[in-house]
A = this chain, B = another copy of it.
């Protein structure tokens, strides 16, 4: 995309839109958009041991996760080209986002999920009318989604689809629009990497347009047991506690693996792997602050607690998904 030549970012914003579509001059497929009012998520400031922490509440979203940012753009595109059914594979949140947006658009949906995806996520998808196909593993879900396509189907594939990032990049625009900039680092859970790459793309756009002059350090967070980015950055196998509670972080070989690694390197960031013990501690801590997240989201704060001063004095932590869809996983936290 060619960047508009403007002196003032605010001239690019359509303030009549109370959603990420206020940045439609920077998003493709804004005609006939399929929007449930996603984006413009809350930002909570919290000073902790001298560090200015900011939590971006991405779970305050129509289907309870940041995946809505990507789904609104991708389903708008699907609608604009007359797709009859979309097909996706997902561990849960993306599947629900696509289920809701495609239902709203009047497009059918089929989502392949691993058998152990949280019950609530599968149930909500079905209630939106989605055909949910349960598979043994996350890998089988990805394979079958592609191999079982019928004529007229559009495989969405948020894990590699470039349009998904056209939605997630808006999180960076939001921060800039509201003057919340100058972060030393951002600590982001990474599975397919769509949020990390969204931040990267959004900040790069702002640099290319001349509004900011550097990237914050991007720290990828992975859950013990599924650590491709760790392996690529560190050149060694990961050893440590399993992080199976983070049901959203389970893609073993993300299609954009190299892009993720390059974005982290360019920003002088790094990778942190957390295990179940730290995830539970982090969850407890966040709930005691009134932040009702899911285990996958809690990995970011767990990683921050490991990084501490290495993360700098001004740190952003996106909280990616609500805990209300993962209560079957939370029973043992009581």
Contacts and interface: CB of A to CB of B under 8 A. Distances in A.
Contacts of A334: 123, 126-127
B324 A103 contact: no
A72 to B, nearest CB: 11
Interface in A209-260: none
B37 A60 contact: yes
A41 interface: yes
A257 to B, nearest CB: 32
A129 B63 contact: no
Interface in A154-187: 178-179
Most chain-B CB neighbours within 10 Å: which of A43, A127, A322? A127
Contact of A322 (B64, B103, B284): B64
A101 B178 contact: no
A333 B285 CA distance: 35
Contact of A44 (B37, B41, B283, B287): B37
Interface residues of A, number: 52
Contacts of A129: 287-288
A7 to B, nearest CB: 20
Contacts of A147: none
Contacts of A327: 119-120, 123-124, 327
Contacts of A152: none
Given A38-B42, A127-B333, 7 more contacts: A18-B42, A37-B60, A63-B292, A96-B292, A103-B288, A127-B292, A129-B288
The 6 closest A-B pairs by CB, nearest first: A37-B42, A100-B290, A104-B290, A324-B324, A103-B290, A127-B287
